């Protein structure tokens, strides 16, 4: 999987960069149910800062986000809905998806021990590192732009002062009263 495709699977939820269980399962080549069962068998390895289950509201927002996103296609939304929404065939509501933070994804490699899991995990870790690097560079750019704005604001004030001085120099002097010549 290409790095840009991986980056599109990393979402921002609850202040964390996360990947959903269904996306990870597809990458690892296992059913989502099997991935979640492996996690549940090793739940002590997945504290809340490694993995959490989405609330109904978060899931609804996520579907809405994909539905209105210009880059998402209808197939993605259909897949999300079909995996987690009420299914008349299976009777009842399926479980809401789990979100795995970077640490949770790393921990998955100890739970899923296949060759493919190791390769996928390495690619995912690289994607998270790349994403962090991009965020740092954006922060640097923001700081530099802010400094430039301050610098040019100072220059603007100085230029205004220069124009005021030029206006004073150019302005005609007030006419002096002429002294009358002759007898008063």
Q: Quote the pLDDT of residue 88.
A: 35
Residue-wise pLDDT for 94-131, tens only, equals: 789 999 998 888 888 778 777 777 777 777 777 777 77
In this prediction, residues 135-161 reach a mean pLDDT of 77
Q: Distance between CA atoms of 163 and 31, rounded to whole angstroms?
A: 72
Four-residue CA torsion sign, 52, 125, 22, 61: positive
Tokens 């990393």 sit at which residue?
A: 10
What integer pLDDT is reported at residue 83 of this predicted model?
54
pLDDT digits (tens, 9 = 90+) for 155-183: 777 888 888 888 888 877 777 777 777 77
| Domain ranges (residues) in the chain | 3-132
Bigger pLDDT: 87 vs 66: 66
How many of the other CB atoms lie within 10 Å of CB of 130?
15
Chain segment 42-80, per-residue pLDDT in tens: 999 899 999 999 999 988 888 877 665 545 455 555 555
Question: Stretch 145-163: mean pLDDT, rounded?
Answer: 79
Res. 134: pLDDT tops 80:
no
Question: What pLDDT shows up at residue 89?
Answer: 44
Which residues have a Cβ under 8 Å from the Cβ of 134 and sit 6 or more positions away? none
For range 132-152, the mean pLDDT: 76
Q: What DSSP string describes 75-89?
A: HHHHHHHHHHS--TT
């Amino acid at each position: 999987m290409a790095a840009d495709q991986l980056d599109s699977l990393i979402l921002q939820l609850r202040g964390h960069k996360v990947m959903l269980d269904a996306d990870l399962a597809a990458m690892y080549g296992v059913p989502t149910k099997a991935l979640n069962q492996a996690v549940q068998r090793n739940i002590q390895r997945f504290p809340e800062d490694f993995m959490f289950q989405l609330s109904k509201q978060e899931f609804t927002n996520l579907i809405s986000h994909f539905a209105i996103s210009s880059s998402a296609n209808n197939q993605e939304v259909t897949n999300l809905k079909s995996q987690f929404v009420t299914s008349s065939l299976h009777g009842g509501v399926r479980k809401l998806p789990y979100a795995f933070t970077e640490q949770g994804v790393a921990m998955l490699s100890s739970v899923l021990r296949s060759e493919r899991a190791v390769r996928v995990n390495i690619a995912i870790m690289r994607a998270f590192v790349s994403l962090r690097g991009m965020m740092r560079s954006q922060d640097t750019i923001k700081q530099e732009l802010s400094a430039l704005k301050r610098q040019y604001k100072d220059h603007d004030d100085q230029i205004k002062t220069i124009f005021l001085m030029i206006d004073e120099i150019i302005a005609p002097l007030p006419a002096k009263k002429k002294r009358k010549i002759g007898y008063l």
